[in-house]
Amino acid sequence: MENKFRAGICLNPHPQKRHKGGEDACAVTSNLISVADGVGGWVESGIDPAIFSRKLCANIEKAGLAADEVELMKPVQIMIDAVKNNKETGSSTCVICTLDKVAPVIYTANLGDSGYMLLRKSGQDLDMLFRSKEQQHSFNFPY
């Protein structure tokens, strides 16, 4: 039996950014989930932050679809390669979670002031198993 995510996506942009679909992006495959939050400060330089984050997630999704079991164990490398292949101007936070196809193991990478939590259902409640740490110099200034 192969492990797979059962997931969907729904982006809900800020009302002031809804007309252009927001600045965030995501990628979902059967063994990878990724979310990128485009850095809004680029607007001040006349650059649409959405273009970078969307290209980043497109690159991540492409890598996830082509990945074998060993590559899925390296979400940091998937992120590095996706950035290297992104020729757009901009920057973004990024979270990637990959699921091993056989073993009950997930691998994660997190860059910037976004984060993630691993939750497990316990009766009617959700127990937090893990929470990543935000990586930022200060508010709205991620590493």
Token pair, residue 108, equals 């994660």
Domain ranges of the chain: 15-136
Intervals of the chain under pLDDT 50:
none
pLDDT for residue 142: 62
CATH of 15-136, one of 3.50.50.60, 3.40.50.2300, 3.30.300.130, 3.60.40.10: 3.60.40.10
DSSP labels for 56-89? HHHHHHHHHHH--HHHHT-HHHHHHHHHHT--SS
pLDDT score recorded for residue 29: 93
For residue range 45-68, list pLDDT tens digits in order. 999 999 999 999 999 999 999 988
